[in-house]
Amino acid sequence: MRSSVWRPERATSNCSNKPVGSGPSSSRSGRRRWPTRSGGDLPAGTKLVWGEEGLIEAAAGAGADYVVCALLGSLGLKSTLAAIDAGATIGLANKETLVTAGHIVMRRAAERGVPLLPIDSEHSAIFQCLNGEDRGTIRRLVITASGGSFRDRGRGELAGVTVEDALKHPNWSMGAKITIDSATMANKGLEVIEAHWLFDLPYDRIDVMLHPESIVHSMVEFVDTSVMAQLGNPDMRVPIQYALTYPERRPSPASPLDLLRAGTLHFKDMDFARYPCLKMAYEAGRAGGTAPTVFNAANEVAVARFLNREIPFLAIEDIIASALAAHEAIPEPDLEEIAFADGRARDAAARWRK
Amino acid sequence: MRSSVWRPERATSNCSNKPVGSGPSSSRSGRRRWPTRSGGDLPAGTKLVWGEEGLIEAAAGAGADYVVCALLGSLGLKSTLAAIDAGATIGLANKETLVTAGHIVMRRAAERGVPLLPIDSEHSAIFQCLNGEDRGTIRRLVITASGGSFRDRGRGELAGVTVEDALKHPNWSMGAKITIDSATMANKGLEVIEAHWLFDLPYDRIDVMLHPESIVHSMVEFVDTSVMAQLGNPDMRVPIQYALTYPERRPSPASPLDLLRAGTLHFKDMDFARYPCLKMAYEAGRAGGTAPTVFNAANEVAVARFLNREIPFLAIEDIIASALAAHEAIPEPDLEEIAFADGRARDAAARWRK
């Protein structure tokens, strides 16, 4: 049984090369100041760690029974594996960990008997739909997609869109990277690959459906034709809390869903020609090995370059396509091979010119 | 563990006063003819039973570990109780059993440790949404309602509707009684009372929402604001099968849900002025005791009289209102008191004149 009282042991920032420290324990009296980044003036008993080693120590060295992995991008892989090795239950908010190394992470978690609890709203929805169900009776998953900032524009209208336009997500308030990934549907592609690993299903049993209202967070169809769906307002506090309280549910400060106010829910077929990044994600997922790593790395650099106003919006997909075309697949890669493929794809994406 | 192979032991017709017999066992060779109603020419080893005693013997005397109670109206109560007493798992398709005697049936099932598995599509949906969940974390149930045959008409347009009009349900293909009950929303009222007993929730935590497409069969909102929903085509084979295979799911001959073809799902607030039968059902449920019995009995007679073209459609609600107004509530009634209230309400409903 997990204790029903949480005592956070460590919190780290998501900057990989800046020093971070463990926070003051909530159960300890005395001075409660976070360590400064310069490392001076630490409260007694506080240890300053930084870099990848610091992340690993924070994730695995504190004896925590629950570690939330919420780093952005592919940074979180080694510390997540360290937390798994330490036997901690993992709350996984970092898509790239499974996208780049799903075969390693899932095997390691299974060997250690460590639960991997999804925090992404779509995967949390699927996870909730699977409550009390036999996973062998899943017919398919349906991941819903809002369509992102430009869902009402055709491909012809995307050439000149600005960073500011792209950052206006219709439903969710999120960081810049994921908001752009929603507009290109690369985010949904990462989610499909993540779902493949989390729920152990082949890609032809993971579908994506456009659902502009973002109220049905995802669905599971079973062999008896029953479809279970999880609905709610777009509010990340709910899936985050669920991963932390699972298998319990606790009252949430989020607003209850007012389905009468929403009134109408729309569902539309995914248009892969309109969203080639999703198509490439499926292809990379099916190719397996290092292909998803290359998809993800090229996308990360391309989005950064778009946000930096170096390239137009539509070049994001060109950069991913070019990286995948140049990539030589390595099946069942180890961490070193993943890192190498990641680095090479990033270099190529950074150098890409029209 | 329940056996995964079914061998039907008894099947009875839903006519209470005509003789019925056990069918030929599917595992037995030889002549396979059903007994005729006159009782002649029975296969060896077949016993002819009839009337309420016959129902009770069929439900409880065969040593079956699973009994489906699917009689129409209030006929099924005693045989359901007998099956519970015999320790059989109950598949409950008969609403009136819980509506009239929920306090007795649920207590008896709890004492015997007998599972009551709902077969109605709405209650099956709620039951599926509660899979793996702690029932203490339910905030409310949302039962969906198609609106019935006359959903596109206002109250002013209901005065002259015919039996033929009323029998055209937009989504479900059902018997005459329940199709009329859908048009008056009395059916939804019975479902609300049934849900109150099945899921042990007060009436102010059971809501009804209009959902014309009948695709979301019902929903459960939890304390963390998450809403779980069960979706599917309107096809009774799915909830019937689920009750039989629970906790397993097995492949179904039903068509998978094509949400893309449906495209749009609508949700509207229930209009209690438009559907006074639902309002009266809530009132009867809240009053408790014999009030739901009176609601149900008056409704049964009123619908029969409408189908018999004795009264106009809108008189159904008048008959129920008049029966409830004349009724003196008996709290915690026993079976005899229930039968008495039932009979009196039926007499009054049969005699009712405008």
Q: How many domains does chain A have?
A: 3
Given A282, A298, A322, the domain boundary residue is A282
**Are A267 and B250 inside 8 Å of each other by CB?**
no
Q: Worst-scoring range by mean pLDDT, A114-118, A326-330, B3-7, B46-50?
A: B3-7
Q: What are the structure tokens assigned to B290, written together?
A: 């014999």
Q: Which residue of A has its CA nearest to B222?
A: A249
B257: which chain A residues are within 8 Å (Cβ-Cβ)?
221, 225, 227
Please work out, in degrees rounded to the nearest 5, the angle formed at the alpha carbon of residue B217 by the alpha carbons of B77 and B262.
145
> Which amino acid is it at B170?
P
Alpha-carbon gap: B126 to the closest alpha carbon of chain A (Å): 11
What rounded mean pLDDT belongs to chain A? 89
- Work out the average pLDDT over A256-265: 96
Q: Find how far residue A67's CA is from the centre of its chain.
A: 15
**Are A131 and B131 inside 8 Å of each other by CB?**
yes
Cis peptide before A247 (omega within 30 of 0): yes
Alpha-carbon gap: A13 to the closest alpha carbon of chain B (Å): 27
Given B282, B308, B332, the domain boundary residue is B282
**Are A249 and B226 inside 8 Å of each other by CB?**
yes
Local confidence band at B42 (pLDDT 50, 70, 90 cut-offs): confident
Higher-confidence residue: B267 or B170? B267
**Are B269 and A260 inside 8 Å of each other by CB?**
yes
- B200 and B137 in one domain? yes
- Domain CATH code at residue A45: 3.40.50.720
- B251 and B128 in one domain? yes
- A104 and A10 in one domain? yes
Specify the pLDDT at position A7: 59
Q: Worst-scoring range by mean pLDDT, A13-27, B34-48, B138-152?
A: A13-27
Where is B140: in which H helix or E strand?
strand B138-145
Per-residue pLDDT at B114 exceeds 90: yes
Specify the pLDDT at position A10: 63
B258: which chain A residues are within 8 Å (Cβ-Cβ)?
none
Specify the pLDDT at position A170: 75
Q: Which of B225, B249, B265 sits opposite A224 (nearest CB)?
A: B249
- Work out the average pLDDT over B245-266: 96
Kindly state the DSSP code that residue B3 receives in the 8-state scheme: -
B131: which chain A residues are within 8 Å (Cβ-Cβ)?
131-133
Specify the pLDDT at position B9: 63
Local confidence band at B312 (pLDDT 50, 70, 90 cut-offs): very high
pLDDT tens-place string over residues A38-95: 556 788 888 888 888 999 999 998 889 999 999 876 778 899 999 999 999 999 998 8
- A127 and A219 in one domain? yes
B134: which chain A residues are within 8 Å (Cβ-Cβ)?
247-249
Per-residue pLDDT at B3 exceeds 70: no
- B136 and B114 in one domain? no
- B294 and B216 in one domain? no
- A38 and A98 in one domain? yes
Dist CA B336 CA B329 (whole Å): 14
Local confidence band at B38 (pLDDT 50, 70, 90 cut-offs): low
**Are B133 and A131 inside 8 Å of each other by CB?**
yes
Specify the pLDDT at position A47: 84
pLDDT tens-place string over residues A162-188: 999 888 877 777 789 989 999 999 999
Given B257, B282, B307, the domain boundary residue is B282
Alpha-carbon gap: A139 to the closest alpha carbon of chain B (Å): 9
Residue B208 main-chain phi, psi, to 5 deg: -120, 135
**Are B252 and A223 inside 8 Å of each other by CB?**
yes
Specify the pLDDT at position B21: 39
**Are B250 and A224 inside 8 Å of each other by CB?**
yes
Local confidence band at B146 (pLDDT 50, 70, 90 cut-offs): very high
Please list the helix, strand and coil fractions of chain A in percent, rounded to the nearest 5, in that order: 45, 15, 40
Q: Which residue of A has its CA nearest to B132?
A: A132
- Domain CATH code at residue B337: 1.10.1740.10
- A20 and A7 in one domain? yes
Per-residue pLDDT at B35 exceeds 90: no
Q: Which of A224, A229, A232 sits opposite B251 (nearest CB)?
A: A224
Kindly state the DSSP code that residue A75 receives in the 8-state scheme: G
Per-residue pLDDT at B186 exceeds 70: yes
Q: Which residues of A23-46 are buried (b: 16+ CB within 10 A; e: fewer)?
A: bbbeeeeeeeeebeeeeeebbeeb
Q: Which of A245, A257, A266 sits opposite B263 (nearest CB)?
A: A266
Residue A210 main-chain phi, psi, to 5 deg: -75, 130
Q: Which residue, among A213, A214, A225, would best test binding to B if mutated, counting the most B CBs under 10 Å from its CB?
A: A225
Q: Which residue, among B205, B221, B222, B240, would best test binding to A if mutated, counting the most A CBs under 10 Å from its CB?
A: B222
**Are B267 and A264 inside 8 Å of each other by CB?**
yes
pLDDT tens-place string over residues A84-117: 999 999 999 988 899 999 999 999 999 999 999 9
> How many CB atoms are closer than 10 A to CB A201?
17
Local confidence band at B199 (pLDDT 50, 70, 90 cut-offs): very high
A226: which chain B residues are within 8 Å (Cβ-Cβ)?
128, 230-232, 238, 242, 249
Per-residue pLDDT at A151 exceeds 70: yes
Specify the pLDDT at position A37: 52
Range of the domain at B204: 122-282
The interface predicted TM-score (ipTM) is 0.90
- B153 and B76 in one domain? no
A238: which chain B residues are within 8 Å (Cβ-Cβ)?
224-226
**Are A267 and B260 inside 8 Å of each other by CB?**
yes
**Are B263 and A262 inside 8 Å of each other by CB?**
no
- A298 and A239 in one domain? no
Alpha-carbon gap: B227 to the closest alpha carbon of chain A (Å): 5
Higher-confidence residue: A9 or B108? B108
A142: which chain B residues are within 8 Å (Cβ-Cβ)?
259
Q: Worst-scoring range by mean pLDDT, A180-184, B7-11, B174-178, B259-263?
A: B7-11
- A271 and A149 in one domain? yes
- A136 and A114 in one domain? no
pLDDT tens-place string over residues A125-144: 999 999 999 999 999 999 99
For residue B7, CA distances in Å to B24, B80, B82, B245, B247 come to 11, 20, 20, 13, 18
Q: Which residue, among B258, B265, B269, would best test binding to A if mutated, counting the most A CBs under 10 Å from its CB?
A: B265
